[in-house]
């Protein structure tokens, strides 16, 4: 069965997914009987394309590498999608699944939420790595999907391709969670690691994180804890069945941590980490993001660089810590592939 995909947003993550689809084509066919056709792409900056018989992904990626627009693909031939915006492309395309991969706006969750709703209203499953809709409207969108017999899957919103939500559908299934605690922002962990290990200044470490592509478009979201806050809200609402908003959680970033404080903690056998945590206490979700001084024996203290980690304290398994990449082109592209494969698996039954 061929799975038809529409891509909304074709920046880093979208191109990461397309690269994986080329690289793993044979493997996916052989292992999962998974064939795909990308039938639509719309990007706010690069244009739109609707090709029901499937886009030649290699040709498209080649154009993008040369700095050309998506709509250069048809080179002078009529392109009915050229004047269309993302909502029109979602409505008009014949995709089974829409991959919503636009930039995250934590304040409004737009335009991503409108894209998700349009896809669900027009009978398409949605997979996304965009933190906005999952942070602010998860319950509403999940309900909307279920009412329409559709999937709304969000593996890439937390820890990119390192599995989190999928773990609770399979490997961790049956456990009740007592507490989730971890490092959910790669940029701040990278900055703290550089300040401690190399004695780097905060400003220089931040600049390097931006250069390496870890930081959000506005790095305030990273260093003031908003990005980690969004992720802990998502974890609270999805895994602890909470119904909290970002304003319900305490938030503090890393800007109050100077190098002296970090080095002093190191001398005493401790390490500062920006820790996000959540648990249910007497029917209420207690979630927070704040720097914490951890003893070096804590598994979270050993997570360095741009990595992320989560310790799940569960009733059946006790404490399990997972660690892995929390950002990146291929890594986040992989999270989208995994959600697409899950939908494909259900549709093929």
* Closest approach of ligand HSE to the CB of residue 190, in Å: 7
Q: Does 227 bind ligand HSE (CB under 6 A)?
A: yes
- Tell me which residue has tokens 């456990």: 175
Q: Which of 43, 71, 222, 331 binds ligand HSE (CB under 6 A)?
A: 222
Query: Toward ligand HSE, which CB reaches closer, 34 or 214?
Result: 214
Binding region for ligand HSE (CB under 6 A) out of 37-45, 95-103, 184-192, 274-282: 184-192
* Catalytically annotated residues: 231
* Closest approach of ligand HSE to the CB of residue 64, in Å: 21
Q: Does 326 bind ligand HSE (CB under 6 A)?
A: yes
> Is beta strand 284-295 parallel, antiparallel or unpaired with respect to 270-281?
antiparallel
Binding region for ligand HSE (CB under 6 A) out of 24-32, 82-90, 134-142, 180-188: 180-188
Q: Which of 187, 236, 323, 335 binds ligand HSE (CB under 6 A)?
A: 187
Q: Which of 42, 135, 185, 236 binds ligand HSE (CB under 6 A)?
A: 185
Q: Which of 300, 327, 336, 337 binds ligand HSE (CB under 6 A)?
A: 327
Query: Toward ligand HSE, which CB reaches closer, 161 or 242?
Result: 161
Q: Does 186 bind ligand HSE (CB under 6 A)?
A: yes
The site for ligand HSE (CB under 6 A) is made up of 185-187, 214-216, 222, 227, 326-327
């Amino acid at each position: 069965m061929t799975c038809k995909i529409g891509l909304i947003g074709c920046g880093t993550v979208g191109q990461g997914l397309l690269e994986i689809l080329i690289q793993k084509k044979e493997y996916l066919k052989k292992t999962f009987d998974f064939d795909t056709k990308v039938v639509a792409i719309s990007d706010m900056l690069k244009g739109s394309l609707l090709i029901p018989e499937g886009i030649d992904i290699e040709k498209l990626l080649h154009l993008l590498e040369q700095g050309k627009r998506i709509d250069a693909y048809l080179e002078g031939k009529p392109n009915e999608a050229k004047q269309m915006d993302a909502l029109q492309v979602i409505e008009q395309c014949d995709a089974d699944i829409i991959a919503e991969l636009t930039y995250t706006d934590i304040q409004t969750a737009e335009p991503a939420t409108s894209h998700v709703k349009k896809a669900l209203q027009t009978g398409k499953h949605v997979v996304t790595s965009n933190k906005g809709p999952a942070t602010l409207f998860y319950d509403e969108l999940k309900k909307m999907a279920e009412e329409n017999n559709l999937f709304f899957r969000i593996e890439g919103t937390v820890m990119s391709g390192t599995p989190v939500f999928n773990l609770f559908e399979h490997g961790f299934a049956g456990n009740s969670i007592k507490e989730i605690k971890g490092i959910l922002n790669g940029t701040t962990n990278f900055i703290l690691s550089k300040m401690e290990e190399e004695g780097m200044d905060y400003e220089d470490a931040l600049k390097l994180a931006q250069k390496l592509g870890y930081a959000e478009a506005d790095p305030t979201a990273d260093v003031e804890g908003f990005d980690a806050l969004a992720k802990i809200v998502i974890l609270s609402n999805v895994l602890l069945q909470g119904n909290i908003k970002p304003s319900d959680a305490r938030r503090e970033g890393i800007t109050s941590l100077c190098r002296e404080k970090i080095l002093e903690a190191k001398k005493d056998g401790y390490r500062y980490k920006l820790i996000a945590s959540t648990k249910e206490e007497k029917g209420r979700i207690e979630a927070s993001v704040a720097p914490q001084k951890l003893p070096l024996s804590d598994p979270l203290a050993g997570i360095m660089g741009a990595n992320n980690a989560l310790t799940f304290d569960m009733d059946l398994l006790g404490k399990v810590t997972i660690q892995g990449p929390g950002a990146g082109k291929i890594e986040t592209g992989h999270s989208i592939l995994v959600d697409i494969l899950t939908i494909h698996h259900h549709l093929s039954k």
